[in-house]
Amino acid sequence: MKQKGCALARMVDVSLQPCSARKVFKPLMIEGMGELMWACPLCSLERHMSMENKVIESITKLEKAHCLNDDEWSLLIDGRYDRQVLFERANQICEQYYGNKVYIRGLIEFSNYCRNDCLYCGIRKSNVLADRYHLTKEQILSCANEGYGLGFRTFVIQGGEDLSYSTGDIADIVRAIKASHPDCAVTLSLGEREMSDYKIWKEAGADRYLLRHETADEAHYQKLHPDDMSLTHRKQCLFDLKALGYQVGCGFMVESPYQKTEHLIQDMQFINELQPHMVGIGPFIPHKDTPFAKEKQGSLERTLTMVALTRIMLGNALIPATTALGTIDPRGREKGLLAGANVVMPNLSPVHVREAYSLYDHKICTGEEAAECIVCLSNRVKSVGKEIVIDRGDYKPVDENNR
């Protein structure tokens, strides 16, 4: 008996089907759900069924109330249930707000110098093997011009915390991009700075700022960062950026060293408190020249789970299918798009510096021209029934009453 509807609807249908007779297990064939095929409320699978019902209940609660208790979070993050239910619901919610549109951001990795020493990051200052570079203002502008011709309407200026560019230099770059391309958004991703710097850049025309919080647990944060960095300051930066009127993106790595489920729960709670416009989520991937070289990489399923949960909790956020997802699985980004992501961020940096912007090992798309990258990505996006659009891709505010 083939059931109609999405995986969630199919599951609900089944849970409502009465069993025909005691001790006679009525087989209910459900596409892609082997474990639920013998759905008898009177048999030994009863507990399993009620676990599945709890999953549905928790997903629905997350969608409506935007929060869960710790047991419900643990169930959705760690539980043994068919993730397709979660991913399909996340995709449906994404399509309610954004249709099948996928927004592109042209990423310009302008410097791999960094004053910080995050233990996971390949461009940390202690990595003497990193081949350091920074792009000139002219090079950055020429990347943006090339990107504009390819259909990009958002440019992300991202780099390590490189103080050789003054606050004024960055403001000049923002102004120059906005002057050449007034129909484009400029996103900055330059790490932690003073609120006064953020203010100057906002006044120069910057629209958005990406600053992943990395982990919302203080003790876990300390295990990933040196003593001179603090979660408190990182969070303060995010709240400052929001107060200045930026569209703000936070985010975290999945299965970074020492990460436990309780930390992911804290990430979700922090995200709900911050109410960011964007959330970047990718698997941790070890880099060979860092203290975490021998640590295990994050898994695809757990990363997709966190992407989907974030979509369901926030509804209208902009969520990238990250390059790191594409690095751990050849179709990772496509899978991300089917689990609630709606943004991709191809590289616009000059090909000769791409290898050097190595945050983690085996990063994809380091050898292609920007134009090749966008053709390849368009095809990938089409393969999951979505389409890349030429659009700034701004955050769409939601009337809470219509949610």
Residues lying near ligand FES in the complex (CB under 6 A) are found at: 114, 116-118, 121, 123-124, 160-161, 191
**Distant-in-sequence, close-in-space partners of 243: CB < 8 Å, separation ≥ 6:** none
Please work out, in degrees rounded to the nearest 5, the angle formed at the alpha carbon of residue 379 by the alpha carbons of 397 and 343.
20
- 370 contact choice in ligand FES, ligand 5AD, none (CB below 5 to 8 Å, kind-dependent): none
Radius of gyration of the chain (CA): 22
Choose between 175 and 263: whose C-beta lies nearer to ligand 5AD: 263
b/e burial code for range 250-281 (CB count within 10 A of at least 16 → b): bbbbbbbbebeeebbbbbbbbbbebebbbbbb
**CA–CA separation, 49 and 30 (whole Å):** 13
Cβ at position 378, least distance to ligand 5AD in Å: 24
Of 278, 279, 343, which is closest to residue 306 (Cα–Cα)? 279
Please list the residues that pair with 303 across neighbouring strands: none
Q: How far is the CB of 191 from ligand FES (least distance, A)?
A: 5
Is 221 an interacting residue with respect to ligand 5AD (CB under 6 A)?
Answer: no
Strand-pairing partners, residue 344, are 104
Query: Which residue in 114, 156, 174, 253 binds ligand 5AD (CB under 6 A)?
Result: 253
249 binds, among ligand 5AD, ligand FES, none (CB under 5 to 8 A by kind): none
Please give the structure tokens belonging to residue 278. 């964007």
Taking CB under 6 A as the criterion, the residue among 212, 302, 311, 335 binding ligand 5AD is: 212
Give the nearer residue to ligand 5AD in terms of CB position, either 40 or 107: 107
Q: Which is nearer to ligand 5AD, 191 or 350 (CB)?
A: 191
| Closest C-alpha among 108, 148, 182, 107 to residue 343 | 107
161 binds, among ligand FES, ligand 5AD, none (CB under 5 to 8 A by kind): ligand FES
Cβ proximity to ligand 5AD: between 225 and 386 the closer is: 225
Residue 265: both structure tokens together? 């729960």
Q: What angle do CA 28, 92, 266 make, to 5 degrees?
A: 100
> Crossing angle of helices 83-98/300-314, nearest 10°?
40
Using CA atoms, how far residue 254 sits from 68, 84, 280, 294, 334, in Å, is: 20, 19, 11, 16, 18
**Distance in Å, CB of 189 to ligand 5AD, minimum:** 7
Instruction: Compute the least distance from the CB of residue 280 to ligand FES, in Å.
Output: 14
| Cβ-contact 28, 37 below 8 angstroms | yes
How many Å apart are CA 255 and CA 243, to the nearest integer? 31
Strands (E), 78-184: 101-104, 106-111, 154-159
> Residue 214 Cβ, how far from ligand FES at the closest point, in Å?
9
Whole-number minimum distance, CB 253 to ligand 5AD, in Å?
5
Q: Which does 214 bind (CB under 5 to 8 A by kind): ligand FES, ligand 5AD, none?
A: ligand 5AD
Per rule CB under 6 A, is residue 254 in the interface with ligand 5AD? Answer: no
Tokens of 362: 């085996």
Name the residue among 204, 108, 99 with its Cα closest to residue 156. 108
Residue 114, binding choice from ligand FES, ligand 5AD, none, Cβ under 5 to 8 Å by partner class: ligand FES
Site for ligand 5AD in 356-375 (CB under 6 A): 359-360
Closest to 325 in 3D by CA, of 369, 380, 370, 259: 380
Give the footprint of ligand 5AD on residues 317-346 (CB under 6 A).
324
Kindly write out the interface string for residues 261-300 of this chain, putting x where it contacts ligand 5AD by CB under 6 A and - elsewhere: ---------------------x-xx-x-------------
Question: CB of residue 287 vs ligand 5AD: minimum separation in angstroms?
Answer: 5
- The nearest distance, CB 359 to ligand 5AD, in angstroms, is 4
Residue ranges of the alpha helices (H) in 163-276?
167-180, 195-204, 218-224, 231-243, 261-274
Q: At its nearest, how many Å lie between ligand FES and the CB of residue 322?
A: 16
Nearer to ligand FES, 55 or 359 (CB): 359
Residues 133-162 vs ligand 5AD: string with x where CB under 6 A?
Answer: ------------------------------
Applying CB under 6 A, the residues found at the interface with ligand 5AD are 120-121, 212, 214, 253, 282, 284-285, 287, 324, 359-360
